[in-house]
Amino acid sequence: MRIIGGQFRRREIKAPKGDVTRPTTDRTREAAFNIISSRFDLAGARVVDLYSGSGALGLEAISRGADVAMFVDNSQRALKVSIANARGLGVERSCHFIRDDSVRWLKGQKFQSYDLILADPPYDSSDLTALADLALSALSVGGLFVLEHDRRFSPDEHPRLLLSRRYGKSAITVFESRD
C-alpha cells in the first residue's frame, strides 16, 4: 500500500496482517480523494477515519493538507499498524488514535464537529444509513462524510446524499452536512 497524493505521495504504508481488515485499494482511495478535493479544501481540516485499519484514509488526508486526524478502530492490532504508519511518515503529532467501536464513538461526539469523516466499515455492516446519520451529526456545516461500501448498498433516498460511484465490488458514497 502507498499514499496516493500530497506531500507523502508514493510513500509506502503497511496493512494489518490477516483478515481483520480489508484495506481500501489504491484505485478506490484515489477516486475518493479526487471526489473530495473537487468539493472540499483539505488545508487545515479536522478529519476522522472510522474503521481505520491501516490508517490509509486519514493519512492520505494529512498528506493532502489536513491538520489533524482521528483514527477510530476496535482492533488493537489495526491501531498499532496505524500508529506505526503515522510514525513512519513523521505525522504522529497530528494524529489521535482511539480504540473503540466506531458507532459508539460517533454517538459520543455530540459537542464536537469535524470537517471530513471517512469510513470503510466491514461490508457486512447492517445499517449504513444510521452510520451516515451519526456521521453527519458530527460534521461542521459543509463537511463531508465519505463512505466506502459494498456496491449492493444503495443510499439513493438519503436527503444528504451528494453522489455515489461504483468501483468494481466497492462503491464510494458522499454525503454533505448542510445545516
Contacts of 170 (CB under 8 A, 6+ apart): 24, 25, 28, 148, 149, 150, 151
CA distance 143 to 79: 25
Residue 89 structural domain? 6-16+30-176
The backbone torsions φ and ψ at residue 52, rounded to the nearest 5 degrees and listed phi first, read -65, -25
Write the CATH number for 146: 3.40.50.150
**Is residue 139 assigned to a domain?**
yes
Residue showing cell 455530540: 110
- Name the pTM for this structure: 0.93
**Is residue 23 assigned to a domain?**
no
Q: What is the mean pLDDT of each run of 10 residues along the chain (179 residues)?
A: 93 80 75 91 96 95 97 95 97 97 91 92 81 94 93 82 89 89
**Is residue 145 assigned to a domain?**
yes
**Is residue 21 assigned to a domain?**
no
pLDDT score for 85: 97
pLDDT score for 146: 96
pLDDT score for 168: 84
CA distance 168 to 24: 12
> Environment class of residue 109 by beta-carbon count within 10 Å: exposed (0-12), middle (13-18) or buried (19+)?
middle
**Is residue 25 assigned to a domain?**
no
Q: How many domains are contained in the chain? A: 1
pLDDT score for 22: 62
**Is residue 24 assigned to a domain?**
no
Looking at the DSSP bridge assignments, the partners of residue 98 are 72
Task: Tell me the CA distances in angstroms from 67 to 62, 63, 96, 114, 173, one per residue in order.
Answer: 6, 9, 11, 11, 24
**Is residue 22 assigned to a domain?**
no
**Is residue 1 assigned to a domain?**
no
